Amino acid sequence: MRYVMLHYHILKNAGTTVERILARNFSQDYTRLDTADRDGLLSNEDLLAFLNGRAEIAAVSSHHIRYPVPAAPGFVFFDVCFLRDPIDRIRSMYDFFREKPAPADPVSELANASGLGRFVARMVEEFPHFVNDAQVVLIANGSVYDHPPGELDLERATGTMLRSSLPGVVDRFEESLVAGQYFLGPVFSNLDCAAVPVNVSRRAGSSLRSRLREVRRACGARLYSQLESLNELDYKLLKRTRSEVLRRYGLVPDREARLSLLRARIRMLAEQQGGNPDRAMAYAG
């Protein structure tokens, strides 16, 4: 039986840090698998064809694979997926594209031509699939945005996250990792989930509350309220997933000691890499 870890990488959900964890643990047996098109898709058939041609691969991270987790003879897949406060995620996308412009990408061009408030307003007007419960859509419908998501989409996404091998939320990143490392231990006995955060925006270290206040100021009350309404289902999914993360974390023996050990490992890695140990605990990217 072949065990493979699959990281469903949602943009700006601390995914690059998760990639670093996988790369350090699996080394040559880990790979990223993406298309050239940012909006491209890889079917489960594409994924299985790749894996059948690369017998050594035990961990894959991709922006372009979609749920449901594949089922195939001879394989057992363990999925990893992190969620984030949806408005903070939009804010982080804005920062990301301003820091790392993507030529010919309309969202990147908009971010670099606009203030934050104008960026949000134009995204609502022109790119609703990026700002209307985008995480629910990605998980429930494989990124197909052909209708405003509803309760059935939320229930599908919730079921997927509750069944996930390693569900995570960015605002409880370390607790997510402690629980994941413990419960995946019987299969991946040497799994070490410590990693220095990477691809973090310039607002790293600020609180979620302060970042959301900044978005509210930039948008104004009316637009911000509209943004909250457009992400009502994402907030419900985030809350349910956070509860599941904390439920699993609560079942981990000696969880506080394990959490302290993880934090110590992250600081040690930051020092080894010449980084700032105090900044090493920021996951605000």
Mean pLDDT of 250-275: 93
CA distance 258 to 274: 24
Q: What are phi and psi of 248, to 5 degrees?
A: -65, -40
- Give yes or no for residue 282 having a pLDDT over 80: no
Q: Model's pTM, two decimal places?
A: 0.94
Question: Higher-confidence residue: 4 or 274?
Answer: 4
Domain containing 18 equals 2-281
CA distance 78 to 90: 28
Q: What is the pLDDT of residues 156-188, one digit of tens each?
A: 999 999 999 999 999 999 999 999 999 999 999
Continuous segment of H or E residues that includes residue 79:
strand 75-83
Domain CATH for 196: 3.40.50
pLDDT of residue 203: 59
Q: What is the pLDDT of residues 47-105, one digit of tens each?
A: 999 999 999 999 999 999 999 999 999 999 999 999 999 999 999 999 999 999 998 89
pLDDT of residue 284: 47
Considering the chain, what is the average pLDDT of its residues?
Answer: 93
Question: Higher-confidence residue: 228 or 142?
Answer: 228
278 — pLDDT class (breaks 50, 70, 90): low
Domains held by the chain: number: 1
Mean pLDDT of 113-118: 98
